[in-house]
Amino acid sequence: MRICLIGAGNLATQLGMALLEKGHQIVQVWSRTQRRAAELASKLKCPYTTEISLISSDTDIYILAVSDTAIESVLAKRNWGNTMVVHTAGSTPMSILAPYCKNFGVFYPFQTFTIAKKVEFDNIPVCIEANSPQNLDILKELAQSISQNIKLFDSSQRQQIHLSAVFACNFANHFYAIAEELLREKGIDFEILQPLILETASKAAYQSPVLSQTGPAIRNDTAIMDKHLSMLADHPDLQSLYRQISERIIQTHK
């Protein structure tokens, strides 16, 4: 397929490279920022533009890989004609496309991306939705060209998936940052936690996280929890967080 990428960030970069590797043609990259547009276009061996009015019409599909807040502002500045337009956002409903496009859908690779780290798409869930069975077939074919894990979800289901990801990925990563801060206070390198983090994550691949829970809260070990709270005396915000999470674990395992 001939694909025009609208956006040049983390997702656009990784998705663009994956699509190119599978034989699709990236006809153009658009970004507000010339540097980022030029960098991605160089990787994808295609032209770029920073002007919405100059976005190519010679394409089979437009993939909007921009922030949720930017989707509608980009859509409103151009006539998209009959060409399919998809967004890649987890929490934005497909209906946002309806006032601006005749053929539209969602193409949501469910993974965390960074520009510098290459991602293998083979097993990444790609969640798709479209405004017609014909368009869904097109998106399914596109998704199957880069991944073996295709999921058909409506907007409500996709929003729930995105919410769960905030807990499983974004919040969990912030907890790693808290752990790193606490270790640094005693001159300890974060590396000490890495085997524990990897083992905890690996368990979630074969059993429910509820069954994998360990720690003082599940044992209702008040002596250890009180000790930890005293150690957090200089961090009242973390004391409150520790209490809330511990109580949540206790209630879950009653």
| Residue 117: CATH number of its domain | 3.40.50.720
Asked if residue 147 has pLDDT above 90, the reply is: yes
Tell me the Ramachandran region of residue 80: left when phi exceeds 0, alpha when psi lies from -120 to 50, beta otherwise.
Answer: alpha
The mean pLDDT value for 54-77 works out to: 95
**Which residues face 129 on adjacent strands?**
106
- Of 114, 106, 73, 103, the residue nearest 90 (C-alpha): 106
Asked if 98 and 131 count as a contact pair (C-beta separation under 8 A), the reply is yes
Asked if 52 and 76 count as a contact pair (C-beta separation under 8 A), the reply is no
Cα separation, 94 vs 75, in Å, equals 13
Asked if residue 88 has pLDDT above 90, the reply is: yes
The mean pLDDT value for 179-195 works out to: 97
Asked if residue 152 has pLDDT above 90, the reply is: yes
Asked if residue 54 has pLDDT above 90, the reply is: yes
Examine the domain organization and report whether 78 and 51 are in the same domain: yes
Report the share of the chain in percent with pLDDT over 70: 100
How many Cβ atoms are within 10 Å of 33's Cβ, its own excluded?
A: 11
Examine the domain organization and report whether 140 and 45 are in the same domain: yes
Examine the domain organization and report whether 14 and 69 are in the same domain: yes
Examine the domain organization and report whether 183 and 243 are in the same domain: yes
In this structure, are strands 104-109 and 126-130 parallel, antiparallel, or unpaired? Answer: antiparallel
The mean pLDDT value for 163-174 works out to: 96
Per-residue confidence band for 239, with pLDDT thresholds at 50, 70 and 90? very high
**Domain count along the chain:** 2
Per-residue confidence band for 119, with pLDDT thresholds at 50, 70 and 90? confident
pTM over 0.85: yes
The mean pLDDT value for 62-88 works out to: 96
Mean pLDDT score of the chain: 96
Per-residue confidence band for 26, with pLDDT thresholds at 50, 70 and 90? very high
How many Cβ atoms are within 10 Å of 79's Cβ, its own excluded?
A: 7
pLDDT tens, position by position, 130-139: 999 999 999 9
Cα separation, 101 vs 12, in Å, equals 21
Q: Which domain holds residue 54?
A: 2-153
Examine the domain organization and report whether 28 and 147 are in the same domain: yes
The mean pLDDT value for 238-242 works out to: 98
Examine the domain organization and report whether 109 and 130 are in the same domain: yes
Examine the domain organization and report whether 199 and 92 are in the same domain: no
Examine the domain organization and report whether 195 and 132 are in the same domain: no
pLDDT for position 254: 87
Asked if residue 10 has pLDDT above 90, the reply is: yes
Tell me the CB-side half-sphere exposure of residue 79, using CA atoms within 13 A.
1
Q: What is the CATH number of the domain that holds 195?
A: 1.10.1040.20
pLDDT for position 115: 87
Examine the domain organization and report whether 164 and 71 are in the same domain: no
Per-residue confidence band for 247, with pLDDT thresholds at 50, 70 and 90? very high
Q: Of 98, 130, 153, which residue sits at a domain end? A: 153
Examine the domain organization and report whether 52 and 121 are in the same domain: yes
Q: Of 118, 134, 153, which residue sits at a domain end? A: 153
Cα separation, 114 vs 134, in Å, equals 32
pLDDT for position 117: 87
Cα separation, 18 vs 7, in Å, equals 15
pLDDT tens, position by position, 92-113: 999 999 999 999 999 999 999 9
Q: Which two tokens stand for residue 10?
A: 């983390």
Q: Of 115, 134, 153, which residue sits at a domain end? A: 153
Asked if residue 217 has pLDDT above 90, the reply is: yes
Asked if residue 116 has pLDDT above 90, the reply is: no
Q: CA torsion, points 99, 104, 110, 115, in degrees to nearest 10?
A: -90
Examine the domain organization and report whether 139 and 163 are in the same domain: no
The mean pLDDT value for 86-94 works out to: 96
Examine the domain organization and report whether 127 and 184 are in the same domain: no
